[in-house]
Amino acid sequence: SICGGVLQDPLQAPSCEHTFCQICIQEWLSRAQTCPIDRTPLEIDQMKPVPRILKNLLSRLVP
């Protein structure tokens, strides 16, 4: 399942722009090749790193 915590090593789906922890989305996509939120077709090689500004903001949430 996909965690609901602060994103660790976040990746973003290009078509729907949903964002997930790298480990969570890798585990999910090994079982189902869809976005866990809206079920848009998705493969791990399509995932993109999040923009640097978002990554910087997320890093401030982790102690």
For 25-43, write each residue's pLDDT tens digit: 999 999 999 999 999 999 9
Query: For the chain, what are the domain ranges?
Result: 15-59
For 6-25, write each residue's pLDDT tens digit: 788 899 999 999 999 999 99
Looking at CATH, the fold of the domain delimited by 15-59 is given as: Herpes Virus-1 (3.30.40)
b/e per residue 12-45 (b: at least 16 CB within 10 A): bbeeeebbbbeebbeebbeeeeebbeeeeebeee
At 57 the pLDDT is: 82
At 47 the pLDDT is: 97
